Chain A
Amino acid sequence: MSAVSTGLQEGDVIDGFGVGERLHAGGMGVLHRCSPPPDRPDLDFPLVIKVPRLGPGEPSESVVTYEVEVTVHSVLTGPHVPRFVAAGDLARQPYLVMERIEGPSLKEWVDRAPLPATEVAALGASIATALHAVHAQEVVHLDVKPANILLRADGSAVLVDFGLARHAHFPDLLAEEFHHPMGSGPYISPEQVLGVRWDPRSDLFALGVILYQLATGEYPHGAPTSRRGLRRRLWHIPRSPRRVRPELPEWLQEVILRCLEPQAAGRYASAAQVASDLSQPEQVTVTERGRRLRRPGPGTLLKRWIMAAGYEPSPLDRPSLQLATASIVLAAVATQHRSEARFQALREVVGRLMAVGADRRLTCVTVIRPASELAGGSAEEAGTSQRIKHLVLLRNWAEPLGLPPERISYHVIESSDPAAALLEYARSNQVEHVVIGAPPADVPLKGTFVSTRVAAEATCSVTVVRPRFTPG
């Protein structure tokens, strides 16, 4: 390889892009403000140009990580990554032009840690949502840390620096190449220490470290650099966050420690499920993990140590296969129009969808009219009793499915526009499949029905269910 970078200075122009003021000089590259070429009026958003440190005296990793970053970043889309604009030829002048994200990095929040539980959960949900958006595009980031997470003004998270990432559709240029685990000591997952580079749950471990850090101000496994120090996390159990800060709620500890499980299978099955729990703490099933104050005894540690010694990587090898086992299914249950035949038909379809993925989660949703639109009495009181009534109906509908509590949640949404409410819920909770009942056969104006609009406008799959026999 003979890629030598001369480096770019403020005032240089490369392929029409103007190099502006230097913003940041990191280990792998230098960031400058950037102006678009005059013939690119479409680039009407702020830009940065990133120039990798290459050439004599720089580590050979930087050439490869530049290649990886360009390959992976150039195919990623959506609001949770900076828009990719252009990349330079490695042999001539390597550079990367992308959207400039104005927000600060998560480091600002980490510096202020420990933070209140609600703030930790809100930040965590944003990061998890961004991670899921990337995982759904067959990419595992593998270098999730506060410096690589930027927060937009609206609170949404943007992931940057894909130099260590893995895209399942492209050759892994970093596989087996370097003899030390790649990543950042405090955040690297146990399986990454062992060289596994496909599992989206590796990013959930890093997210767990970040949540732990935000909640306690400490690292769960310290900041080791040696392989031996890194291997410790294969079996070691971190101090309970609630032992560090007793006021932390059990549900938050449950989420954090579940993300930090040494075996990927013990963690959440997808980032969407982490986001779901962090944004709805009341739905978190708290286990011993969430309640414990002391580390488990020597017996448990020994068991974990033995499991770590016999660590077997999962037979899957790409994010989509893992996510397929872990999708969120939304059942839209029309509790206000009770019909046993319709309920039964919906349940059958949902039951089949839930049977094929042991980590799938079911979200049961019903939309009721807002309390203010209900006549008589105190609106607030009426609203509460309505919500409870429909929650009971939802739970009753789901009971025959026999799903364990950690795989199911219930939501009563108040809205005068049920289709919009369902669509918004599905979108913001990364639902992958909506199951909804069809309108009855004998009614006119089908185009105005909730299921019709949901099927047309949803960003995920929608199954519209009809009972075999429609009662008249």
Chain B
Amino acid sequence: MKLALLADIHGNLEGLTACLEHARDQGAEAHAFVGDLVGYGADPVAVLELVEREVAGGALAVRGNHDAAILDAGSDTMNRAAEAAVEWTRAQLGEAHRAFLAGLPLTARRDEIFLVHASADRPADWTYVSDPRRAGQSLAAAPGTWVFSGHVHEPMLYYQGAGGRPLQHRPEPGVAIPVPAHRRWLAIVGSAGQPRDGNTAAAYALFDTDRRALTFFRVPYQWARAAAKIRAAGLPELLARRLERGE
């Protein structure tokens, strides 16, 4: 089975649909959404409704910190632009959308696959898994062989060496990386809605569970359109510029 893993969509419908279309062409049969469906982007309703349909059809989804912030008006751990986006998003969503977000679990597991938006080590603390040490902590707390996460927007593959220490590998887009089951792996699948590594293309990963191979993809999409919608919605200018520059 080929499982498409999408994280940090952040209300970017153009990014999400481009990734889903790409995944379909690659033969993806299932989807998993690894948190932060909303926040930053101008299409939270459309994104949520699309994901909700996918979940109804069997897709996995977990909650991200932005999804949680929509529900919890008291949270104040975000920067000003993010906070403004959360407030704006909150106003766009109806009761059904909030109920869907509230129903999302912090983690999800299917067979040997484990999903968590940030770190499996206290998931609600939203720790950034941004180096091998933190990846090791997340792996130690996570069940399963393959752990997929987001939160950090830059695609990265962490793996356990024979010495037990976690190591990191910066994936080359489009290369199928063998991820055999006798090791444990933690993949940051990249952001489908707000790439931050200087490349404007949306990111997602495809896990072939039969071949045990993981491929990270970059998908060029209409970021100009997504940025124009952000400006038209009156969201902070910074959020439009991030999509234009991929940073």
A interface with B by C-beta (< 8 Å): 1-3, 60-61, 63-64, 67, 71, 90-91, 168-173, 175-178
Contacts and interface: CB of A to CB of B under 8 A. Distances in A.
Interface string B148-165: 000000000101011101
B182 A176 contact: no
13 contacts: A1-B182, A60-B162, A63-B162, A90-B180, A91-B181, A169-B172, A169-B175, A170-B169, A170-B178, A172-B167, A173-B161, A175-B167, A176-B167
Contact of B162 (A64, A71, A91, A171): A64
Contacts of B162: 1, 60-61, 63-64, 173, 177
B177 A171 contact: yes
A53 to B, nearest CB: 16
Contacts of B165: 176-177
A176 B157 contact: no
Contacts of B172: 168-169
A178 B177 contact: no
Contacts of B180: 67, 90
Contacts of B175: 169-170
Contacts of B161: 173, 175-177
Nearest to A3: B182
Interface residues of B, number: 15
Contacts of A63: 162
Interface in B165-185: 165, 167, 169, 172, 175, 177-178, 180-182
Nearest to B179: A171
Contact of B178 (A1, A71, A91, A177): A71
Nearest to A168: B172
B214 to A, nearest CB: 10
A178 B163 contact: yes
B177 A177 contact: no
A171 B157 contact: yes
Nearest to A1: B182
A170 B163 contact: no
A362 B162 CA distance: 45
B210 to A, nearest CB: 13
Nearest to B172: A169
A418 B31 CA distance: 56
Contacts, number: 43
A87 B172 CA distance: 24
A385 to B, nearest CB: 53
A173 B180 CA distance: 12
B159 A171 contact: yes
Given A63-B162, A64-B162, A171 B182 contact: no
Contacts of A64: 162
B124 to A, nearest CB: 30
Interface of B: 157, 159, 161-163, 165, 167, 169, 172, 175, 177-178, 180-182
Given A67-B180, A90-B182, A91-B182, A172 B169 contact: yes
A170 B214 CA distance: 11
Contacts of A172: 167, 169
Given A67-B180, A176-B163, 13 more contacts: A3-B182, A60-B162, A63-B162, A71-B178, A168-B172, A169-B177, A170-B169, A171-B159, A171-B177, A172-B169, A173-B159, A173-B161, A177-B161
A168 B170 CA distance: 9
Nearest to B169: A171
Contacts of B159: 171, 173
The 8 closest A-B pairs by CB, nearest first: A171-B169, A169-B175, A169-B172, A177-B163, A177-B161, A171-B159, A177-B162, A64-B162
Nearest to B165: A176
B117 to A, nearest CB: 23
Contacts of A178: 163
B171 to A, nearest CB: 8
Contacts of B181: 91
A175 B161 CA distance: 8
A64 B182 CA distance: 11
A170 B167 contact: no
Nearest to A174: B161
A60 B169 CA distance: 22
A171 B177 CA distance: 8
Between B162, B167, B175, the greatest number of chain A beta carbons within 10 A of the residue's beta carbon is seen for B162
A171 B216 CA distance: 13
B163 A171 contact: no
B4 to A, nearest CB: 21
Contacts of B163: 176-178
A171 B175 CA distance: 11
A457 B157 CA distance: 39
Contacts of B167: 171-172, 175-176
B132 to A, nearest CB: 10
A63 B172 CA distance: 25
B161 to A, nearest CB: 5
A3 B180 CA distance: 12
A60 B161 CA distance: 11
Contacts of A67: 180
A317 B157 CA distance: 16
Contacts of A61: 162
A137 to B, nearest CB: 12
Contacts of A1: 162, 182
A90 B182 CA distance: 9
Nearest to B182: A1
A326 B225 CA distance: 41
Contacts of B182: 1-3, 90-91
